[in-house]
Amino acid sequence: MLLSRFWYLFLSAALAGVIFLLYLATAVTNRNGQKNAARLLTSASNAVGWYLKDDSRTRAAALIPLVLDPKITKGLQAASKAEKLSELKNKVRQGAKSALASFREKQGEKGGVPFDALWAVDIHGRVLANDNFERGTGSEHFEMGGYSIVADAIHGWIRDDAWVFDGQIYRVVARPVEIVVGGTPVGAIIAAKVVDDSFAQAISNRTGSAVAFFAGATRVASGAPPSFDKAALEVHSADIEKLQQDKDYMEKGRTAARLLRETPGYDVMAIFARMPGEAWSLGAGYVVGHRQAIVNDPAEFERLADANDKKAVPLWILIAGAAGATLLGLIFTILEHTLPLRKFRRSVAELGDRKSETEVLKPSTFRGVYKKIAANVNDSLDKIAAKAGIDRGPADMESVLGPLPTQPQMSAFSVPKAGELTMEDRAPDSQRSTRKRSVPKSRPKRSLPKAKTGGEESDSAAPPESSGADDVAASSEPATAISGGPADSGPVTEVDRGSAAPSTKKSASGSDQGDAPLDEAGQWRKVFTDFVALKKKLGEPTKKLTYEKFKGTLQRNKDALIARHQCERVKFRVYEKQGRAALKASPVK
């Protein structure tokens, strides 16, 4: 299951990486959005300031025809010479007033510069006439000389300013009135434009910004692009209090970009700026806003994306990648789960089939966890048979582990060549009998190489003569001898299919008839005799096969099985396997 598990791990890591990148992209998007919003707001605030200055110059230039009007010049000249305005003839004042009204109407037409109020002020700052602002008309006490913009204008300067009247903000321009160009002014024309929603919308259309003007803690006008909600630019008293504590606003007249409102899906960033002139001292200013989209989680990317964004996604590549990953995962699952499971199911079904000769599973033919399950099934079958009083016979190494290789590179039970000594042979007799080979319970024993036929003799590491002894192995699933049966009398000799010599059969039958059991040395000598006899009968070479080598092989098998199964002794049986002599070893408790 290595590939499947690795694939699951890879997909999980890839998914975690994608989610990490999405959240990282969310944070980066919000951070960069705030930086961009700050830059955009700074540019927008500057653009609004430039617009206000340009508008003042435009309005001042638009007053030129009015300051040259004879009704205005003569009326202001007469008013400047009179000690009291009441001394002036009514005709003079009415002429000046009609000139102001006519000029305002013409400017209000399409293409002109609109004004909401006009004043004609003499050299003393007294109002000779006004239009659309009736307060103080005809009063001796109504004069405007106290305003700095008026004082500068009657002294020959062109000025602009912002006033606050009755909660309204006015953009004001003043231009001197001269009889002779470059001469002493005889008065000034003061023109004002109310900062209302139309004025703010004109600024928004020209600059592309959302802007709102406020006086005190009240918004008096606002304008914004169609996609921007002007209600988000509402100014509260808490916002004004924060401005009084903002060092940049108090010293530079403009704040840094700040969060104004939090709304679902986006935040409103804003920069506050003060109105130029006297209006600033009365708490008048303007705020420029920008709607900044906020990505609260990766799923909101889909909401923020438009049609062009979605078209830019390589959809076919993503689909192909997903399909390829799915197909690869299915292939790994089939190879490591479905196919091994089917094979195991077939083997178990064959084991339960009465017509089948299979008595045990072959763990070596399975992979992964199925190999261990097969070994556990074999152990369970042996235990069940033992409890039921059934002798399943000695376990066949090849029937458990499957076909054995003809010439393995290493064999735990190989018989050395003639003249060679194994480590077991070199050890003293006292040590040789006590050595044991530890065999893990969860893995089958290493198999013995099969015997070669006579025509396969060579100078290889495993000579043909030793191949018969190599078939002796400690089965991973040995048969349990039944109490009172032949296994209880120690190792026995048996030749399958009548292939053993007549003397072998006789000795075996004699043992069954109650003859005294042989000791271990005698039993092994008998097994050796039967084994050699069977090999000769089958035409296998026996020239180099000696009893000492054969005994060493049996001893190693015995030690291994005793160490693994904690049994008292081991019995060996001679039988014919696919036309060759072989041995089976079974533990006896």
Question: Which of the following CATH numbers is that of domain 2-52+199-310: 3.30.450, 2.60.40, 1.10.4190, 3.20.20?
Answer: 3.30.450
Q: Which CATH class is domain 63-194?
A: alpha beta
Alpha helix positions (H), 334-406: 339-352, 369-387, 397-401
346, 370 in Cβ contact below 8 A? no
Q: Give pLDDT, residue 499.
A: 37
Q: Any residues with CB less than 8 A from the CB of 41 and at least 6 apart, and which?
A: 257, 269, 270, 271, 288, 289, 290
25, 297 in Cβ contact below 8 A? no
CA torsion through residues 132, 75, 94, 101, sign: negative
Residues of the chain with CATH 3.30.450.20: 63-194
558, 437 in Cβ contact below 8 A? no
pLDDT tens figures, 497-550: 333 333 333 333 333 434 445 688 888 888 999 999 998 888 888 888 888 888
Task: State the Cα–Cα distance between residues 286 and 114, nearest whole angstrom.
Answer: 21
Q: pTM for this one?
A: 0.51
Give the residue carrying structure tokens 């499971």: 341
Confidence of residue 232 (pLDDT cuts 50, 70, 90): confident
Does the structure show a pLDDT above 90 at 321?
Answer: no
pLDDT tens figures, 183-211: 889 999 999 999 999 999 999 998 888 99
pLDDT tens figures, 88-102: 888 888 899 999 999
pLDDT tens figures, 464-494: 334 343 444 333 334 333 233 333 333 334 4
For 114, 266, 350, the CA distances from 344, given in Å and listed in that order, are 95, 60, 10
Confidence of residue 21 (pLDDT cuts 50, 70, 90): confident
Q: Give pLDDT, residue 428.
A: 44
Q: What are phi and psi of 223, to 5 degrees?
A: -150, 145
Q: Give pLDDT, residue 518.
A: 65
Confidence of residue 135 (pLDDT cuts 50, 70, 90): low
Task: State the Cα–Cα distance between residues 143 and 123, nearest whole angstrom.
Answer: 11
3-state secondary structure of 587: strand
Q: Any residues with CB less than 8 A from the CB of 500 and at least 6 apart, and which?
A: 493, 494, 530, 533, 534, 537, 574
10 Å CB burial of residue 563 (0-12, 13-18, 19+) is: middle
3-state secondary structure of 169: strand
Angle in degrees, CA 261, 265, 268, rounded to 5: 25
pLDDT tens figures, 33-66: 778 888 888 888 889 989 999 999 999 999 999 9
Task: State the Cα–Cα distance between residues 127 and 143, nearest whole angstrom.
Answer: 5
3-state secondary structure 108-160: HCCCCCCCCEEEEEECCCEEEEEECCCCCCCCCCCECCCCHHHHHHCCCCCEE
Residue environment code for 139-150, b if the CB has 16+ CB neighbours within 10 A, otherwise e: eeeebbbebebb
Q: What's the mean pLDDT in 227-231?
A: 83
Q: Give pLDDT, residue 1.
A: 57
Does the structure show a pLDDT above 80 at 357?
Answer: no
Neighbours of 297 (CB within 10 A): 9
34, 291 in Cβ contact below 8 A? no
